Structure 1
Amino acid sequence: MKLTIRELYDKMLQNMGSSGWWPAESKAKIIVGAIMIQNTNWKNADKAVANFRQQTNFNPDQILQLSTEELQAIVQPAGFYKNKSRAIKAIFSWLSKYNYDYSRIYQTFGVSLRNELLRLHGVGDETADVLLTYIFDVPTFISDKYARVLFTQLGVSGLTNYQSLAKQVKLSKNFTSEEAQDFHGLIDEFGKIYFHPLTKFQESFLADDQLIL
């Protein structure tokens, strides 16, 4: 069956139920998680996230008060601890200028917000889209590895990197921010089930479908 992006989301939701993503009790925790997961797996990222909870309870001001050495020690389980520590400092320092008022920040920058995020140390395309989706509630498609594998299986060719998919997929205005968040979660949960190994995809409820972009 040929599916549009919207139909793909609806079918995944019907078959899997809501993903509940991003699993976090605060936006500060989501920001921490988005940086910690870079270039590692959730097991390692979660260790660092747990350290942040223990040391700061995800209070942004407490995070900013940490010394470089303290912050690097907290981040270390997630790897790339120097770079990720700088990213955490950069993001929360920038947010603090606006008193962590996410609505105000979005109103200030509007459509240029993504470019503003990309100026921050340690924020690349994927992290910027995660922040737009989960922090600023801007419906955005996150073209991560699981999404590229899924879309390849659904007949989309040439997906070699993040931008190769991102430039092809823009969520229509009938996606709410909550649906955009859920869509990303569903794709990643689907990938965990059906992409290890990839041959399991043929057992999935999407095996006979083709995506129309």
Structure 2
Amino acid sequence: MDLTLHGLYQKLLNNMGPTHWWPADSKQQIIIEAILIQNTTERNAEHASQLIKEATGYDFKKISGLPAEILEKLIRPAGFMKNKSRAIRTVTQWYLDHNQNSQIIAKEYGEDLRSILLKMHGVGPETADVFLTYIFDRPQFIADKYARTLFAQLGIQGLSDYNSLAKLLSALPEPFTYQDAQEFHGLIDEFGKKYLRRKNFEHSFLAGDRLILPED
């Protein structure tokens, strides 16, 4: 069966139900966790996130005031503690400098926002797209590993790295809203954990389907 992009989203949603992803109490928490999750497991990132929560309540002013060795110790379970510490300091200070107002930031930078984010230490394409989707409420597509693996199973060729899919699909087309973009990311990752990580795609409800991406 041929599926449009929105058709794929609806089929995932109908078969799996909403994920309500990203599960967090604040945008500040999402910013921290989006950096912590880089190059580690979800479990390790959650452990470090909990330590930061206990120490600071995700208060960016408290985080920016932590001595370097303390912040690195909190981050340690997620690995790459020096690099991630610097990234967290950079992004949190930038967010503080903009009064932690995501709507004003989005309006100020407009279409340049992604390139601004990419200039920050520790913010690569995937993290930038997570920020656009979950912090700045844009219908961005997050071309993570599960998305690339799923799209390859659905017949999309040449997905060698993050940018290879991001070039094909960046902003999601209408009728996607930013809420749909958030849910789509969660659904793809949950599908990936169940069917792709265990190489069980042929037994999934998407087996035999083919994805048709929108043309530019």
TM-score normalised according to structure 1 size: 0.98
> Any residues of structure 2 matched to 1:55-204 within 5 Å, and which?
55-169=55-169, 170-198=171-199, 200-204=200-204
The SS at the match of 2:152 is: helix
Moved over 3 A (4+): none
Counterpart for residue 46 of structure 1: 46
Letter in 1 for 2:63: I
| TM-score, length-scaled by structure 2 | 0.97
The unaligned stretches of length 5 or more in structure 2 are none
Residue 179 of structure 1 aligns with an amino acid whose one-letter code is D
| Alpha-carbon offset, residue 6 of structure 1 | 0.7
In 1, the alpha carbon distance for the partners of 2:61 and 2:175 equals 36
> Following TM superposition, by how much is the alpha carbon of 1:173 offset from its aligned partner in structure 2, in angstroms?
2.9
Q: Deviations over 1:141-160 (max 9, x none)?
A: 00000000000000011100
Q: Per-residue deviation at 1:33?
A: 0.6
CA drift of 1:195 comes to 1.3
Q: Aligned residues: percent identity?
A: 52
- Alpha-carbon offset, residue 35 of structure 1: 0.4
Paired residue type of 1:206: L
SS in 2 for 1:13: helix
Q: Please, what is the CA RMSD of the aligned residues?
A: 0.7
- What is the deviation of 1:126? 0.1
1:161-187 residue CA offsets vs partner (Å, 9 max, x unmatched) = 001001111410321111000000000
Structure 1 gap ranges (5+): none
The amino acid of 1:193's aligned partner reads: K
Amino acid at match of 2:185: H
The separation in 2 between residues aligned to 1:196 and 1:107, in whole angstroms, is 39
